[in-house]
Amino acid sequence: MGGRNNKRKQHLPLPIELEKVTGKVTKAIYDKMKHDQVRDLKKKTAALKQSATGSGRKRAAPAAAQPSATPKKQKQQPAKRKPAAKPESEEDEESGEEPVMADGPDGGWDNAPLESDSEMGDSDAESLDEFDSDDDHVTQQPLSLLSDDSEEEDDDGGVESYDEFDSDDEQVTFRDMEKRSRKLDERRAEDAEMADMELQDQEQAVTSEREVFELPSEAQVEAEKEAPLDLTQVQMRIQEIIRVLNNFSDLRGPSHSRNDYMDQLKRDMCFYYGYNEFLMEKLLQLFTVSEAVEFFEANEVARPVTIRTNTLKTRRRDLAQALINRGVNLDPIGKWTKVGLTIFDSPVPVGATPEYMAGHYMIQAASSFLPVMALGPQENEKVLDMSAAPGGKTTYCSALMKNTGMMVANDANKEREKALVANIHRLGVSNAIVCNYDGREFPKVMGGFDRVLLDAPCSGTGVISKDASVKTNKGPEDFSMLTHLQKELILSAIDSVNADSATGGFIVYSTCSVTVDEDEAVVNYALSKRPNVRLVDTGLDFGRPGFTSFRGQAFHHSLALTRRFYPHAHNMDGFFVAKFKKTSNKIVVGDKQV
């Protein structure tokens, strides 16, 4: 009895084995409690408080049993029990009690017939009443559903008790459970419908506010020059103007033209992204207004750090494993290259590892792989890199040539050649010759090359994420000077190639710029000045085709074979690649041979 009293004082429920034996919980209710976790409060507290006289709660005896019920005061006499079985828990052994076991079928309790309260015997009723005394007022609950507080949840928002359906005359059925479940589903559906209606109202309100967008007046524009708006306000206005331009016929203002919206968009984007008006207008001409925003946003984010495996000393698999062992987080750049790796995170500087010092890799932008892949130098060829510093493309060519043939690395800037020479030595290149000439002096200095690579000096509009000064320091004079230099260099590169080469005769022209003036316009100029060359496929299976016409300018139809790369579309620096094939060493202009 001491063990039982301790249990009642601690407000612990009956062990689930005794619940099964006494039949207090029927099979259907037990399964429901087990799976749905529904609180089963067997008796309400108010009903227990009414037993203040000390008389115990009585249960109805079966019809075939004695008509008189056992008084509460006789509970202290030991009830007749069935033969005791071996204790099923350590708790029963410590209390010194023998648990009462029911005589069920061979299959166990789960297969036994369900037993109602009215079918219980006197001895079972007495043993059950021992746990329902008025001294403790403990309401029995299943183990898995017992909460810290024994109070009922009678409010509409809580889970109702099944005591409403659990009386002495009827049992809880699944029909009641289904009815309760349907009510809960209906309530959830109503809440979801109300939430959808509120969301639609908010969207309509936002849409109605956007539809009344008006361009600022001239007075407001002048006032903003003195007191600029907040960047958030400027960004919202950019989005509104783009929305209007994308559906101009329906959303335009009656007194404004498309140029009015474009002028305001240029002013706002110059202020928001920090470009000068000249460069902003030149870049906006390349894209739709929506894609232009993606391009400018991509220029605000640094490109991933990439390295190129030096196949003269190692393989990419071995290099990747060595760097992973040092804690470097990396992945292959893509399927288009077999030597590139992207570095996501490194506990040590990528340019200070033993592998870097040993020349196993070169820190190189993914976009600078492209012109070398397009050039495709072969073993035992004579190759010229006209603008070689700092040596990423030169050493890549030597690796593809397997240190055979001759690799001429030229650069007009003598200071930059220091890094070129250092990288050649570090990477183990032994077929390179370094020279310092103006590229326009070729082929007077040297000619007869099988292949020539010209990565021409440019404005750098494709690498703004690396050099933000390009946003403001490039004007019309810079583009005029650069395009003139590029046209001279490309003609020298064409003249330096031997068209009779058994394996070559190719020229690759590339820039890290995305402007048409430095790309398609220069290539089209070369085609018109050197009719003995033609454009061929670059061999790059991704990238966008070059322009064949641009803002009234018509270019040669073969310019579709060139390739453009953008930071927002290909996650690499902006780049342009064109590949020529020289068909003859003779230049025929009209009826004259040059």
512 is an active site residue: yes
> Which run of H or E residues covers position 575?
strand 575-582
Amino acid at 36: D
Rounded Cα gap, residues 442 and 34, in angstroms:
88
Q: What three-state secondary structure class fits 434?
A: strand
CA angle centred on 515, ends 461 and 578, rounded to 5°: 105
Residue ranges with strand state E in 338-497 = 340-345, 361-363, 382-385, 406-410, 432-435, 451-455
CB distance 556 to 548 below 8 Å: yes
Rounded Cα gap, residues 387 and 400, in angstroms:
18
Catalytic one of 270, 397, 458, 512: 512
Among 122, 138, 127, which residue's Cα sits nearest to residue 43? 138
Q: Where are the alpha helices (DSSP H) in 300-415?
A: 316-325, 354-357, 369-375, 392-400
Contacts 24+ apart (CB under 8 A), 548-553: 550/285, 550/516, 550/520, 551/285, 553/516, 553/521
Among 116, 142, 4, which residue's Cα sits nearest to residue 62? 116
Rounded Cα gap, residues 569 and 551, in angstroms:
22
CB distance 347 to 326 below 8 Å: yes
* HSE toward the beta carbon, residue 109, CA cutoff 13 A: 18
Burial class of residue 282 in the structure, from the number of CB atoms within 10 Å of its CB (0-12 exposed, 13-18 middle, 19+ buried):
buried
Among 476, 503, 475, 508, which residue's Cα sits nearest to residue 386? 508
Q: Token pair 């077929």 is at which residue? A: 431
Rounded Cα gap, residues 574 and 514, in angstroms:
6
Q: Token pair 């043939």 is at which residue? A: 405
Among 352, 413, 425, which residue's Cα sits nearest to residue 386? 413
Give catalytic residue positions.
512
